[in-house]
Amino acid sequence: MTYLELLWAFLQIGLFSFGGGYASMPLIQSQVVDKYQWLSQSEFVDIISISQMTPGPIAINSATFVGQRVAGLPGALVATLGCILPACIIVLAAARFYYKHQQLTVVQGVLDGLRPAIIALIAASGVSILSLALWPSGFSLRPADLDWAALLLAGGCLFILRRWKASPVLVMLGAGAMGIILYWTGLLPGV
């Protein structure tokens, strides 16, 4: 039954995550954390972070990691297949339709109309991850509930990226090293 649930969950994610990996994060969270409870919210953030650092699309990497976590290697294969199958079918059908009707202004209008929805999904994902990173116990306006070490670390990374146009990979590695140091010194609470 777990394999069917993995397949069904990631078929839905693959089917409805139009716009790329970042747009799929709320859908993945809905299935993996909320509906099936395969991961906790903090485990989900960890999986998304790992998925962003590994080569390949975030949704597929997440499917592979979640499938592995839930049902081992066969689960990873089933979840990954579920994630990519709808995209393969949709892209083949859309390419055929587009080449046949690309001159129609309605087709261009539909594509232009999808952009704001995709941007909203990406923004919602970013706000959700930022909120969890800065307020591990849940959002609060009390300064004592804010994870100041995480805020300073994120702010420092953003400053380095903007000021010196540093490589995001090097900044992530540096942030990881700083996180380990802050965790070992007790300045960053454990998850």
Taking the C-alpha atoms of residue 32 and residue 66, their distance in angstroms, rounded to an integer, is 8
> How far apart, in whole angstroms, are the C-alpha atoms of residue 3 and residue 96?
32
- 34-48, 76-90, 132-146: which has the minimum mean pLDDT? 132-146
Identify the pLDDT of residue 164.
Answer: 94
Query: Helix (H, G, I), strand (E, B), or coil: what is residue 112?
Result: helix
All residues at 6 or more sequence positions from 33 whose CB lies less than 8 Å from its CB, including other chains? 39, 40, 41, 44
70-116, pLDDT tens digit by residue? 999 999 999 999 999 988 898 899 889 878 887 788 878 887 888 89
pLDDT value of residue 17: 76
> What is the share, in percent, of the chain residues with pLDDT greater than 90?
37
Contact (CB, 8 A) for 191 and 149: no
Alpha-carbon gap, residue 104 to 12, rounded angstroms: 30
Read off the pLDDT band of 188 (50, 70, 90).
low
Q: Tokens at residue 130, please?
A: 């930022």
Coil/strand/helix, residue 55 = coil
What was the pLDDT predicted at 190?
58
- pLDDT score, position 87: 80
C-beta of residue 71 within 8 angstroms of C-beta of residue 78: yes
Mean pLDDT taken over the chain? 87
